[in-house]
Amino acid sequence: MNKVRLGVIGIGMMGTVYAKMLLNKEIKGAELTAVTDQKEEKRQWAKDAFGEDIDVFDSPESLMKSRKVDGVIIATPHFEHAELAVKAFKMDLHVLCEKPAGVYTKQVREMNEAAAKTKAVFSIMYNQRTNPVYRKVRELVSAGELGEIKRTIWIIDWYRSQSYHDMGSWRGTWAGEGGGVLLNQDPHQLDLWQWITSLTPVRIRAFCGFGKHYNIEVEDEVTAYTEFNNGATGLFVTSTGIAPETNRLEIYADKGKLVVENNQITFYRNRIPERQFNREWRGGFGTPENWKCDIPVHGNESGHKGIIENWVEAILFGIALIAPGVEGINGLMLSNAMHLSEWTDDWVTLPVDEELYLKNLRERMETSVYKKN
């Protein structure tokens, strides 16, 4: 194979972006051959917009069976991601899945199990993993520049007015989206938090506000306390109801404190690691000498295009994936745990009890104002 033939499933906002990227030959080694969408008017629009060379299928299944594609990009509503990926894997088709990996971990675990049974290449659209700022922080952590992490806090707001939620009847509903800020806005941060620190969350106690700021069903505010496997504590604080928006990541570690805000990395470096200082110091009051360091960041964010290119190169040449699809479950696990902790008003130990989560989610979907037609 020297060219990967791709189909795009779901040509909404992001699916259309990917289809056009491929049509415009922006992705070396790949070509768009087919698209599909559940809506008739979208399919008609695609026929007009993309031209006769692109097959427009009535369903994802017919697209997959057409033998016109080697892989699919799944850009449908969240609920369908995992189910469609499973179907693709059963036909040994390569899959690039939009974030989030799914809505609940049970379906995503099943997706990962299906992926393990094929040699198809599976990636997920974690385009923020191409952000040089976060790549740099991850590199610093893994090189040992921070030492043992003690505490990490991510405050991440995404202001979304009522007008935004009113743009689609599915928005802000349990049946339409399966969640709010955690499912729609935070998947990148929930992934990056673990990807950067290499810490494994052990248990979570979270506090969610549902429709606290807007007339919606789902969470528009979350404060989550997390305990990690090395004893470190974590706070994940997020809201769609707060303006101006904050995006501030703090990592407190043995060798100092690292802050990421406004795309800048500042490292407050202890000249002597704290634990060493503590062992050696005999003077009562006293703290390690600390240096404020501005950390350089090189390179550009290749973004969505970078993730697609990387996936295509992995298919063609076997290079390592930036965002392996099986890792999509990690961020979703945190998201599900945060919901479940609020619903049960208790700790949630990871991995989440997937049946309990699904039971709770379904109760909310059944009473949701959104009804899928």
Q: Tell me which residues in 120-159 interact with a second copy (CB under 8 A).
A: 150-151, 153, 155, 159
Q: Among residues 17, 202, 235, 297, which is the contact residue for a second copy, using CB under 8 A?
A: 235
Distance CA 93, CA 85 (A): 9
Q: Phi then psi for 282, rounded to 5 degrees?
A: -125, 10
- Three-class HEC string of 101-130: CCCCHHHHHHHHHHHHCCCCCEEECCHHHH
Least distance between a second copy and beta carbon 187 (Å): 18
Among 285, 298, 317, 367, binds a second copy (CB under 8 A): 285
Closest by alpha carbon to 85, among 37, 120, 33?
120
| 3-state DSSP assignment of residue 340 | helix
CA 321 to CA 116: how far, in whole Å?
A: 15
Residue from 17, 49, 202, 242 binding a second copy (CB under 8 A): 242
Helix (H, G, I), strand (E, B) or coil at 231: coil
* The two three-digit tokens of residue 128, written as one number: 């923020």
- Copy the structure tokens of residue 126: 């974690």
Decide: is 287 part of the binding site for a second copy (CB under 8 A). Answer: yes
- Is residue 236 involved in binding a second copy (CB under 8 A)? no
What is the Cα–Cα distance from 243 to 253, expressed in whole angstroms?
Answer: 30
Is there binding between residue 163 and a second copy (CB under 8 A)? yes
Q: Which is nearer to a second copy, 284 or 318 (CB)?
A: 284
Look at the chain and count its residues.
Answer: 373
CB of 288 to a second copy, least distance (A): 5
Q: If phi over 0 gives left and psi between -120 and 50 gives alpha, with beta otherwise, what is residue 183? A: alpha
From the list 62, 198, 230, 290, which residue makes contact with a second copy (rule: CB under 8 A)? Answer: 290
Q: Per CB under 8 A, which region of 84-92, 112-120, 192-200, 282-290 contacts a second copy?
A: 282-290
Per the CB < 8 A criterion, the answer to whether 216 and 239 are in contact is no
241 binds a second copy (CB under 8 A): yes
13 binds a second copy per the rule CB under 8 A: no
∠ CA 4-6-9, nearest 5°, is 160
118 near a second copy, rule: CB under 8 A: no
The single residue among 3, 62, 142, 167 that binds a second copy, judged by CB under 8 A, is 167
Q: Is 370 in the site for a second copy (CB under 8 A)?
A: no
Cα–Cα distances (Å) from 271 to 4, 152, 341, 364, in that order, read 51, 21, 40, 52
Q: Per CB under 8 A, which region of 56-64, 75-83, 284-292, 309-317 contacts a second copy? A: 284-292
Q: Give me the residues that bind a second copy (CB under 8 A), please.
A: 150-151, 153, 155, 159-164, 167, 205, 207, 209, 212-214, 221, 223, 225, 231, 233, 235, 237, 239, 241-246, 250, 252, 256-257, 268, 270, 274, 277-279, 281-288, 290
